[in-house]
Structure 1
């Protein structure tokens, strides 16, 4: 007994691929972690700290992994930890943000009625994940920032 050949139409494949891409984009900011609204905790950004930023999603200019040093409220050193991060640091180092600037972006998205603004916080109150999606049905307008290795310094 032979199994019948399965034929797929190009249009059906295209629709399936589109549906999968839309589901992926919708789920990109969801990881099952509880999310808090912007400015829920009373965390105050210190003037000096270090952190690692992984920025992904969408077609924003800030894509890559970075080791960031902040002093006096300004980024004084950023090191690209992957190819995209190194490329950005070489060309436009001023685009690597402080954590406060990431929170400002989230607040601006909230004020602009973005469809999704989710921030996850560590027990000490600093953000560990910021997920933004200005328009749920648009492709490549999302931003996802993962903040790790945070340490206040003096």
Structure 2
């Protein structure tokens, strides 16, 4: 009987340790707490693909974005919604700095959810915002891919 309890405790301890290790390592996902600023400075020139979805926000669709000197100089819609957005409201397509500013504002406003995942170099890969978990369609999901700095 003692051997069975001892084995059960060992298995439970191993499972708990593995779970804690996985949680500590974030299982391959770099979701940083709101107090941890990513070690990334927005370069003056870069390109990225933004896929924006969730809720009833004005910015919905997939975009290829070029940023020079901290401003969007070219935005190309990759789907019909994004093409319409680029045509009608081109100044609404954000830089990565603007997306991070929106994340920071959501945190200051005590949004129910304001999370980000970062690439190894520190640029954001995914930002999820939900200002009020009880409200419908106030969420925003930004997925950043194909990020390249000028010349690299």
Tell whether the structures are fold-level matches, with TM greater than 0.5. yes
Q: Which residue of 2 aligns with 1:45?
A: 42
TM-score for the superposition, normalised by structure 2: 0.78
Match of 1:103 among 88, 100, 103: 100
Structure 1: gaps of 5 or more residues: 1-31
Please state how far the C-alpha of 1:75 moved relative to its aligned partner: 0.1
Give the alignment's Cα RMSD to 1 decimal. 1.3
Match of 2:55 among 55, 58, 66: 58
Q: Deviations over 1:62-86 (max 9, x none)?
A: 0000000000000000000000000
Please state how far the C-alpha of 1:41 moved relative to its aligned partner: 1.6
Runs of 4+ in 1 over 2 A off after TM superposition: 37-40
Q: Which residue of 2 aligns with 1:88?
A: 85
Larger of the two Rg values belongs to structure:
2
Please state how far the C-alpha of 1:37 moved relative to its aligned partner: 3.0
C-alpha separation in 1, matches of 2:93 and 2:29: 25
Aligned residues: 123
Match of 1:135 among 127, 132, 136: 132
Q: Which residue of 1 aligns with 2:31?
A: 35
Q: Deviations over 1:90-140 (max 9, x none)?
A: 100000000000000000000000000110000111000000000011110
1:73 aligns with 2:70: yes
Secondary structure of 2:57 counterpart: coil
- Structure with greater helix share of residues: 2
Please state how far the C-alpha of 1:142 moved relative to its aligned partner: 0.2
